[in-house]
Structures are given as C-alpha cells and as structure tokens.
Amino acid sequence: MNRRYRKTIIAGNWKMNKTATETRQFAEELKTMLPKTKWCDVVVCVPSVNISAAVKAFKDMRVAIGAENVYYEKSGAFTGEVSADMLKDLGVKYVIVGHSERRQYFGETDSIVNKKVLAVLEAGMSPIICVGESLEQRETGVTTEWIALQVKSALAGVPAEKMRKCVIAYEPIWAIGTGRTATAEQAAEVCSSIRATIRSLYGARVARSVTIQYGGSMKPDNAAELLAQGDVDGGLIGGAALKPDQFVAIINAANQE
C-alpha cells in the first residue's frame, strides 16, 4: 500500500452467490462489525439482480456497490445483457471487468474486455480490470510479458485523465478459489510490473496514482503480508468476502494508518 499516492481498496467479489434476502442479512451483520474505514475504501460487488437490494442495504455504511460484469453496447437488441448506464443509474460505482472466470467460461477476449472498460469509464464508473496468468504460463516464465499484454489491451484508447478511475486487479488464475495464494513476493513482483507497464504508457505520475489490487485466496491470515507490499494497494476477494467476519478481518488489515 502507498496511501500518499493512491487509494487502498478492499473489494468483495461475490460471484454467483447470495440472494437479495441474503444480501440484506449480510449487510445487517456487517454493520455490527465494520470499523470506521479511514484508511481504505470498501466495495462489495454483487450479482446484477441484487444491486438494488445492496445499494439500499449498505447505504448507511461507507461501502460502495460494484457490479461483476457489464455489456459494452449502450442499448439495443442484446437480450439478457445489462448496460453501463443501467448500472450507473442504480448507484453502482465499480464494475469488475475481465475476471478470469468470464474469460474462461464466457469467452471474453482482450478486445471485449477493452470495450467494457471504455463503456464503464464513459458512464462515469470505475472498472476493476482483472489480469492474471495460468499456472502453465507461470511455469514457462512468461508471466510478466503476458500480464503486460493484458494490461495494454485492456487500456487501449483510455486517456490519461481517466486512468485515475481505473483499478487493476492482479489475479493469478492458479490462486483463485484454490486456497493457494501467491506469495507476497510473487504478488509484489507482478503488481510492480503492472505499474511499470502503466508508467510506460502514461508516465510516472499517472502510474503512481493507480490502485493495483491482488486477488486469489486472500484471507484474514495472509492479507496483512500481501498488503504490506508497496505496490499491492488492496484486494479483490472472493470466498472470504462471503463471510462478514472474514471480510472485516481483511478490511482491518488494510485499514491501518
């Protein structure tokens, strides 16, 4: 973390979990435990059908609501899809874009990810852009190049003044939902290589203002060490964000002066 230059953001990614009723229950429980979050921002990304319930349930807490996906067209004949303007109108502040599950199961390419990033920014929200390598890529030693390519593709056409709104989440695919976490060293190395890529595209000032999260089995017992790395500015948390006590423990690790 480096709060002099950028925000620390702890974001939950609920994936396809919890009904609207369970969303309200989670918020009630969280309310009793959430500390004053002076040193970090808290986001909860929920399934799109639960966004309205979440906006209402979390409204008295300093918790921003995020979406997990978006479609890049403004409107029209795209049955089943949800536009950035629709999300924005409900009170959404962040949208996860290019999560590896979307890339893997729903065929999202770098070019689709890029269009979604542009649509989210155009609507005035912040994209949380996910990048990450497979185990095979890590083992063959192409992680840095691969991530740089994903970052560059996702940011194509994004002007420097909008970079402050972008969040990048480094999520090694082999660490997602597996209980296997990247070491703090591995996370730090890739997060700083992401910042170097942003620096090469936009210069040092912009690069140091961008929040870069780590995601992949972040938990109460490893959060502090991961967050102690200078270039790791928060977390994107799946499993542990479904339980209020675990989520709060991670928030506490980030909410240090």
Q: Give catalytic residues, as residue numbers.
A: 99, 171
Pairing mode of beta strands 41-46, 211-215 = unpaired
Contact 95, 123 (CB under 8 A): no
Tokens at 96, concatenated? 């996860």
Residues in region 207-236 near ligand PGA by CB under 6 A: 215-218, 236
237 part of the interface to ligand PGA, by CB under 6 A? yes
Handedness of CA 93, 46, 23, 227 (dihedral sign): negative
Nearest to 210 by CA among 154, 249, 248, 253: 154
- DSSP bridge partners of 126: 94
Q: Does residue 35 interact with ligand PGA by CB under 6 A? A: no
Closest distance to ligand PGA from the beta carbon of 40 (Å) = 17
From the number of C-beta atoms within 10 Å of its C-beta (0-12, 13-18, 19+), residue 130 rates as buried
C-alpha span between 244 and 25 (Å, rounded): 10
Q: Nearer Cβ to ligand PGA, position 13 or 252? A: 13
C-beta of 139: minimal distance to ligand PGA in Å? 20
- Which one of 129, 239, 246, 253 is in contact with ligand PGA (CB under 6 A)? 239
CB of 13 to ligand PGA, least distance (A): 4
What length is written for the chain? 257
Closer residue to ligand PGA, CB minimum distance, 171 or 231: 171
What DSSP string describes 155-195? TTT--GGGGGG-EEEE--GGGTTTS-PPPHHHHHHHHHHHH
How many positions of this chain bind ligand PGA (CB under 6 A)?
13
Q: How far apart are CA 62 and CA 251, in angstroms?
A: 12
Which residue, 171 or 233, is less far from ligand PGA as judged by CB?
171
Please choose, out of 70-78, 104-112, 192-200, 237-245, the segment that lies near ligand PGA by the rule CB under 6 A.
237-245
Shortest Cβ 73–ligand PGA spacing (Å) = 25
Identify the residue among 238, 246, 251, 255 touching ligand PGA (CB under 6 A): 238
Question: Binding to ligand PGA (CB under 6 A): which residues in 139-178?
Answer: 171, 176-177
Q: Does 12 bind ligand PGA (CB under 6 A)?
A: no
Minimum distance, C-beta of residue 89 to ligand PGA, in the bound complex (Å): 25
- Tell me: does residue 66 bind ligand PGA (CB under 6 A): no
Chain contacts with ligand PGA (rule: CB under 6 A): 13, 171, 176-177, 215-218, 236-240
